[in-house]
A = this chain, B = another copy of it.
Amino acid sequence: MSNPNSPLDSATGKAVTAEPGSVGIVVPQRARFSEPLALACGRTLEDYELVYETYGALNASKSNAILICHALSGNHHAAGYHSESDRRPGWWDHYIGPGKPIDTDRFFVVSLNNLGGCDGSTGPASADPRTGKPWGPDFPSLRVRDWVNSQARLADLLGIGQWAAVIGGSLGGMQVMRWALMYPHRLRHAVVIASAMKLTAQNIAFNETARQAITSDPDFCDGRYLEQGTLPRKGLALARMIGHITYLSDDVMGQKFGRELRRGDFHKGDEVEFQIQSYLRYQGENFSGRFDPNTYILMTKALDYFDLARDFGDDPVAAFRNAQCRFLVVSFTTDWRFAPERSRELVDALVHANVPVSYAEIESDMGHDAFLLPNARYERLFASYMKGVAD
């Protein structure tokens, strides 16, 4: 396997020097899986590809591997840059790199684009081998457990028998919990951040409005927009706007935007536009240019359907009796979509199942997005726990 941390610059032939704390330039890799994958929905994927990145080096005993599981709109590009001119690092760059909490001087970090995604792994925008046309709405419905199975195969391919830790926030945290139940001997630590054992009705309701926004757009064409040469941009933008509001806290929106105006003047009787309106529209439009609507639907359904204890008589304690790893659970005070209460329920279940668990509720005014953002206490705690994982 090539080491993506020190690629040669194509022009000079010299190794690219990374900035301190950064994994530098990374090259996504691609793995093809030809063994059919039986899915929770009863269907089977005959073969599929997963795109992934790795940071750091796997040690001789293969004991230092970390799996990063992404959330709703994430992908494999969690750290570093894709070129010298790339100004936007991976989505978790603040937490992955040399000397960072997920320390690439110690760990070999694997980050993939989940099956059903839209950043290179097989998903609704890929060609259905039976027809040669995009899968679109015919792509199988996926559950969190399907992702875990596909990730286990990626681990097999990389020769990783046991992860030092599986780590994820939000929907990623659900994958981490499922790993602990499905492959209890294949991870030593589970880090579950800003997540829940199941969504509340309110969360499902927000996801439902997001899906309705997409499917109500006439350019959605029943999911066959790629074949039709259209794209439900407005619907996807609206779905993202709804999501974006709920990932932030009321406080931080007040601090960032308050009632600041972008245009117009109240005293002149103008129609005015608040800063928050144009910000949200920008976020929505930007997202709709880069994300696949069918993937958005697939991911939100996986979120809604996840219910950790359903197969254990709705008893999460019974579910976790099988777990063999240690847990770190983290929540954020102003996160109202994955509220601290949801994390405390998880911790309670773990404690009653005699699973070792550390829990931290981090003060933050950033809402659900806090798990992605700089925060001194979160960083210290995360780094400290990960040092224990390495030892």
Q: Which of chain A's residues 209-231 have a Cβ closer than 8 Å to chain B? A: 209, 212-213, 216-218
A35 touches B (CB below 8 Å): no
From B41, B234, B274, B276, A216 is in contact (CB under 8 Å) with B234
Please determine whether A204 and B274 come into contact, CB atoms closer than 8 angstroms: yes
CB distance from A339 to the nearest CB of B (A): 8
A289 touches B (CB below 8 Å): no
Please determine whether B213 and A257 come into contact, CB atoms closer than 8 angstroms: no
What is the bound-complex CA distance between A242 and B253, given in angstroms?
A: 18
What is the bound-complex CA distance between A361 and B281, given in angstroms?
A: 35
Please determine whether A204 and B276 come into contact, CB atoms closer than 8 angstroms: yes
Stretch at the interface among A90-98, A115-123, A161-169, A195-203: A195-203
What is the bound-complex CA distance between A115 and B245, given in angstroms?
A: 31
Contacts of A200 in B (CB 8 A): 250, 253-254
Please determine whether A277 and B208 come into contact, CB atoms closer than 8 angstroms: yes
Please determine whether B204 and A277 come into contact, CB atoms closer than 8 angstroms: yes
Contacts of A266 in B (CB 8 A): 305, 307, 310
A193 touches B (CB below 8 Å): no
> A267-283 toward B: CB 8 Å interface, digit per residue (1/0)?
01111101011001100
From B201, B258, B336, A259 is in contact (CB under 8 Å) with B201
Contacts of A268 in B (CB 8 A): 42
What is the bound-complex CA distance between A200 and B245, given in angstroms?
A: 12
CB distance from A282 to the nearest CB of B (A): 12
A287 touches B (CB below 8 Å): no
A256 touches B (CB below 8 Å): yes
Contacts of A276 in B (CB 8 A): 201, 204-205, 208
Please determine whether B209 and A259 come into contact, CB atoms closer than 8 angstroms: no
A235 touches B (CB below 8 Å): yes
A192 touches B (CB below 8 Å): no
A39 to B, closest residue via Cβ:
B269
Say how many copies of this protein the assembly contains.
2
What is the bound-complex CA distance between A198 and B242, given in angstroms?
A: 21
A218 to B, closest residue via Cβ:
B218
A6 touches B (CB below 8 Å): no
What is the bound-complex CA distance between A258 and B336, given in angstroms?
A: 17
- Among A204, A234, A281: residue with most chain B CB under 10 A: A204
A365 touches B (CB below 8 Å): no
A382 touches B (CB below 8 Å): no
What is the bound-complex CA distance between A141 and B205, given in angstroms?
A: 31
A279 to B, closest residue via Cβ:
B205
What is the bound-complex CA distance between A284 and B276, given in angstroms?
A: 25
Contacts of A40 in B (CB 8 A): 269
Contacts of A218 in B (CB 8 A): 218
> A29-50 toward B: CB 8 Å interface, digit per residue (1/0)?
0000000000111110000000
Please determine whether B201 and A258 come into contact, CB atoms closer than 8 angstroms: yes
Please determine whether A202 and B235 come into contact, CB atoms closer than 8 angstroms: no
What is the bound-complex CA distance between A162 and B284, given in angstroms?
A: 49
Please determine whether B141 and A271 come into contact, CB atoms closer than 8 angstroms: yes
Contacts of A258 in B (CB 8 A): 201
From B235, B242, B269, B274, A201 is in contact (CB under 8 Å) with B274
A348 touches B (CB below 8 Å): no
From B43, B198, B216, A235 is in contact (CB under 8 Å) with B216
- Among A205, A217, A259, A269: residue with most chain B CB under 10 A: A205
A206 touches B (CB below 8 Å): yes
A386 touches B (CB below 8 Å): no
What is the bound-complex CA distance between A272 and B212, given in angstroms?
A: 15
Q: Report 10 cross-chain contacts, Cβ distance below 8 Å, ordered by A residue.
A: A40-B269, A41-B270, A201-B256, A204-B277, A208-B277, A209-B238, A209-B245, A212-B234, A212-B237, A271-B301
